[in-house]
Amino acid sequence: MNVPSPVYLDNHATTRCDPRVIEGMLPYFNETYGNAASTTHEFGRLARQAVDDARRRIAACLGTTADAIIFTSGATESNNLAIQGYLRRLGRSGHVITTAVEHTSVLEPIEALRSAGFPVTILSPVPDGASDSGRVTPEAFLAAVRPDTVFASIGLANNEIGIIQPLREIAQICRDRKIVLHADATQAVGKIPINARELGIDLMSFSAHKIYGPKGIGALFVAPRSPRLRLSPLMLGGGHERGLRSGTLNVPGIVGFAIALELCCHELGPESTRVRTLRDQLYTILKASLGDEISLNGPALEPPDLRLPGNLNLRFQHIDGETLLLHLPQLAMSSGSACSSTQARPSHVLLALGLTEQQARASIRIGLGRFNTHTDIQTAAHLIVAAAQELLHAAGRLG
Ligand code: PMP
């Protein structure tokens, strides 16, 4: 008997590889399989051309030039390279600003630098209850700046509550004060329009597997021709990627990354409208059926530029998130950040909004994406309402 696979609603954790991406990658496994650094022969030269071409196309999607793109294994490595690579190279201590809602691959390297003597300010976001809950305002950022501030790391879009931060304004503050600004844009690239030059950031991390590309390939944008931006590599070796990231290039991954990003950029307008409509429909049905039993974590759904189009983070009044997920094996969702779901701790992002541990545990994250359909939404709404009503009934909350 065929058991239908669950409906995938966890697109912030990762996405299904687009068939067009897979097709474009295939020749680079068994036909054009040369090492892109072995340019003494045709195999290597063709691989090199594919990498150069992919680099140019990725750069074009982000409004920059090819020399600004350093390939890595993913956003975790890009975040580490930006933060540790810049601050360790600085050769002196300096004040660092970040926010309490960053991904652990930003917070952990910053904590390590704090232990090494860098003073750190971790900004709290606008708390739960406000329409811009999760936002770090330019005013709050400015108030944290000190004469010795050298570096800031602010995520462009959050992987749990979907808040989109006012990075352009923050970048202006940084530029005026010669503070290097890093943005973790892993959840934002391909989902909202980004022009790195216009945004005015210095460093930006992103990853292919969040945009319907393959896992294990990411990039760090390093603003071109900026004399301030000298980074130390995390790994020493053959000196690939201008000495910043040694290691044989993942040619199929890089080719797939470029196709994935181009598809996102070409389809961005209609896709984000479609995904946002599905998200809003799901929320409307759930709210109509469950009323005050659910509320939204993070920013309001309107205006649309506050929140990623596919993101929904719901808090239940009287139901534990993990218990609800156990009752919903037909739906693939998350009870918090996938990256922290191996830990029993409640989400640090939800706690940073001022939620209690119990409220954080009573929350689920839904991430809609390219391959979700209207039927998925109907199915998900029906199943969530049924499971929630059953649990409420069992808890004596429903007659
Ligand atoms: N930053 C954010 C905001 C993320 O959502 C993730 C993935 N959960 C990462 C960084 C890490 O990305 P990767 O899996 O490519 O290392």
Which atom of ligand 1 is found nearest the CA of 79?
10
Highest mean pLDDT among 147-156, 217-226, 330-339: 147-156
pLDDT at site 314: 97
Q: Look at the chain and count its residues.
A: 399
- The CA distance from 305 to 303, in Å, is 6
> Quick one: pLDDT band at residue 336, thresholds 50, 70, 90?
low
Q: Is the model's pLDDT at 199 over the cut of 80?
A: yes
Per-residue pLDDT of 46-100, as tens digits, reads 999 999 999 999 999 999 999 999 999 999 999 999 999 999 999 899 999 999 9
- The CA distance from 395 to 69, in Å, is 54
Segment 32-47 mean pLDDT: 96
Q: Which domains does the chain have, with CATH numbers?
A: 7-16+268-394 (3.90.1150.10), 19-265 (3.40.640.10)
Q: Which residue has the tokens 């295939």?
A: 26
- The CA distance from 39 to 31, in Å, is 16
Q: With a 6 A CB cut-off, is 159 part of the ligand 1 pocket?
A: yes
What is the model's pTM? 0.96
Segment 203-226 mean pLDDT: 96
Helix, strand or coil, per DSSP, at residue 372: coil
Q: With a 6 A CB cut-off, is 279 part of the ligand 1 pocket?
A: no
Give the β-pairing of 180-184 and 203-207. Answer: parallel
Which residue has a Cα nearest atom 5 of ligand 1?
Answer: 159
Q: Which residue has the tokens 């984000």?
A: 272
Report how far ligand 1's centroid is from the alpha carbon of 339 (Å): 8
Q: Looking at the annotation, which residues are catalytic?
A: 339
Contacts of 236 (CB under 8 A, 6+ apart): 246
